[in-house]
Structure 1
Amino acid sequence: MLVRFWGTRGSIPTAMNNHDMRSRVMDVARHVLDHGGGDVEAAVDAMPFHLRGTYGGESSCVQIDTGGEEYVVCDMGSGARRFALDCLGRHGPGAPKTYNVFQSHVHWDHIMGFPFFVPAYIPGNVIRIHGCHDVLEQAYRGQQSDPCFPVPFDFLGSTIEFVKLEPDRTYKVADVTVTPFRQLHHGDSYGYRFEKGGKSVVYSTDSEHKLEDHDHLDYVVGHFRAADVVVFDSMYSLAESTSLKEDWGHSSNMVGVELCHQAGVGELCLFHHEPIYSDAQIDQVLAETVRYEEIARGEYRPLKVTASYDGLEVTA
């Protein structure tokens, strides 16, 4: 399975402004000059990620490419717009397709991309929105009602179905098995474990993990167990998540390492980045997480740590 990230920011989409861009260009110019400036491409490749790239600013949308005919995607944040354009670029607008959406929860940053999801407007497409919340359809319809959006939900040309799931029950959807599990977040959030051909990917965002709640930690570790890839909400630092921002419904990079170590996970993808963090700050979070993993590993299986960015692809 291939994990494609179309939106990795938390809470609200964000973008660089003119000041940010000017500072970035100046830093890049200094780096090239300091390294001789002869081979520009080589100089750029040698730069830290926060100079040669960007983590992006779209909110949550992660595709699980199973290699099958039907699409599988988690959440419809603002990244869903780019996901849609990629889909249409691959097969064209005239080829009917089925899109399986797995909704973690219905806070706005996780559904706001759907009104701009072009396949929803094309007759012949089938969009199945799966989730454990009773208000799933209400939330999708509500954001396209007056006075919030000019195009009403019933104007959409595709066939749209809402599929109610139960946590801790395994389903076969398209060519993959899916198991939702409950997470601690305002109004509840649900993670998903996807399995196919001996490979497994876990999508776990908008979840708070209280270190003193051992039953909950064991429950989460059980769903993470031996996963090849875990996409994990690491919005806050450990200090923030246990003090100033306790009960805000998000976790930390350090807790992600602890849970993935206990579960024997192969790769941890830091996700749902704090919207006020610059690319340089996310680079720093990644470096600190990699170092912490090395220190905390002990007898655990080595854990690869990456920071997700819009456009990243990870193979399970």
Structure 2
Amino acid sequence: MKVRIWGARGSLPVALTHKQIRAKITTALEDALYRRLETKEQVAAYVDQLPFEIAGTYGGNSSCVEVEAWDPATTKEHIIFDLGTGVRPLAGAKLARYGGGNPQTYHVFMSHLHWDHIMGFPFFTPAYIPGNRIIIYGCHEELETAFRRQQEPISFPVRFDQLGATIEFRKLEPGRRFELRDVTITPKLQLHAGDSYGYRLEQGGKTLIYSTDSEHKLDNAAEREGFVDFFRAADLVIFDAMYSLADAISVKADWGHSSNVVGVELCQLAGAKRLCLFHHEPIFDDAQISRVLGETRRYAEITGEAPLEIMAAYDGMDIEL
């Protein structure tokens, strides 16, 4: 099983500014002043050793995660969590691989229906191609309404009914296991305005948790135990770590998001192996996200008895399970 992050930002997509790009280049060149970089190979090696926040970027697309559960060479079915703006480059990758005349089936599992999680769908090219099949799963009664409404003429030039693909909506029940070929998917209710749902995906002894847009009240023991059970022994937990703990319990309490510290504690209690910080705060630049990652790793080292690998999601990231 492979997980691919196509969009890791929360609330709205963002882009690097001129000043931010210039600062990265300046920092890299200043560090290179006293190095002998005389060949392309030496330059490439130098760039490879730069910190990620200088040589790369966490990206700016809103939430979209692909799970490659089956061999793409032999299977025409795909699993996607959420349809933020990250689904546009996902669509490009699929068309480059399969072309427009090779029908595919896309199984899409929605955490919730806020705009940052559905806004990429009108730009999902496979939806326009006859022969493709898109099955959108979720626990909300308004699932189909949300997708149709954002493509009404006042908001978008192409109506939902003009899409060429076959599009279906299937309602899931929280806590009830759903079988998709050899994959088991279980949704769980989460605390967020209008409700959101996390997903536990299991296949061949591997377990993935996708849990974004979820607030955790530290004084609610029953809720905490419920999430510990949901995360139990997961190989990877993709977790909403939008805020610091201080913000999550004070000025941004009841805003429907969680923190890096809570993610560590839940994973430690559940015996999870890896934690992926996700749904990054849109006002954070790459350096700030890297600082959060470093602080999270130090916290986990101090508080944990068992090792917990921690990473920060970025657009284009691949994670093997």
TM-score, structure 1 as length reference: 0.98
Q: Does 1:175 align with 2:182?
A: yes
Separation in 1, partners of 2:99, 2:127: 14
The residue type equivalent to 1:311 in the other structure is: G
User: What is the match of residue 55 of structure 1?
Assistant: 58
Contact (CA 8 Å) 1:32, 1:44: kept in 2 or not?
no
Q: CA deviation at 1:37?
A: 3.6
Q: Does 1:311 align with 2:316?
A: yes
User: What is the match of residue 129 of structure 1?
Assistant: 136
Separation in 1, partners of 2:115, 2:260: 24
User: What is the match of residue 271 of structure 2?
Assistant: 264
User: What is the match of residue 43 of structure 1?
Assistant: 46
Q: CA deviation at 1:64?
A: 0.8
1:226 aligned residue (226, 233, 239): 233
Separation in 1, partners of 2:151, 2:159: 5
Q: CA deviation at 1:36?
A: 4.2
Q: What is the correspondence of 1:97-112 to structure 2 with a 5 Å cutoff?
A: 97-112=104-119
Q: CA deviation at 1:47?
A: 0.7
Q: Does 1:138 align with 2:125?
A: no
The residue type equivalent to 1:275 in the other structure is: P
Q: CA deviation at 1:20?
A: 1.6
2:256 aligned residue (229, 244, 249): 249
The residue type equivalent to 1:307 in the other structure is: A
Separation in 1, partners of 2:192, 2:293: 24
Q: What is the correspondence of 1:143-162 to structure 2 with a 5 Å cutoff?
A: 143-162=150-169
Q: CA deviation at 1:251?
A: 0.3
3-state DSSP of counterpart to 2:194: coil
Contact (CA 8 Å) 1:32, 1:40: kept in 2 or not?
no
Contact (CA 8 Å) 2:6, 2:86: kept in 1 or not?
yes
User: What is the match of residue 70 of structure 2?
Assistant: 67
Contact (CA 8 Å) 2:24, 2:55: kept in 1 or not?
no
- Structure 2, unmatched stretches of 5+, are none
Separation in 1, partners of 2:194, 2:29: 47
User: What is the match of residue 21 of structure 2?
Assistant: 21
Separation in 2, partners of 1:253, 1:167: 25
Separation in 1, partners of 2:34, 2:166: 57
Q: Does 1:76 align with 2:83?
A: yes
3-state DSSP of counterpart to 1:179: strand
Separation in 1, partners of 2:272, 2:36: 42
Separation in 2, partners of 1:258, 1:36: 45
Q: What is the correspondence of 1:169-248 to structure 2 with a 5 Å cutoff?
A: 169-248=176-255
User: What is the match of residue 166 of structure 1?
Assistant: 173
The residue type equivalent to 1:48 in the other structure is: P
Separation in 1, partners of 2:209, 2:293: 19
- Structure 1, unmatched stretches of 5+, are none
Paired residues in the alignment total: 314
Separation in 1, partners of 2:167, 2:241: 32
Q: Deviations over 1:235-260 (max 9, x none)?
A: 00000000010000000001000000
Separation in 1, partners of 2:279, 2:182: 27
3-state DSSP of counterpart to 1:140: helix
Contact (CA 8 Å) 1:8, 1:58: kept in 2 or not?
yes
User: What is the match of residue 120 of structure 1?
Assistant: 127
Moved over 3 A (4+): 34-38
Q: Deviations over 1:61-87 (max 9, x none)?
A: 000110252100000000000111111
Q: What's the RMSD between the two structures over aligned residues? A: 1.0
Q: Deviations over 1:16-60 (max 9, x none)?
A: 121222122111211222444442222111111001110000000
Q: CA deviation at 1:89?
A: 1.4
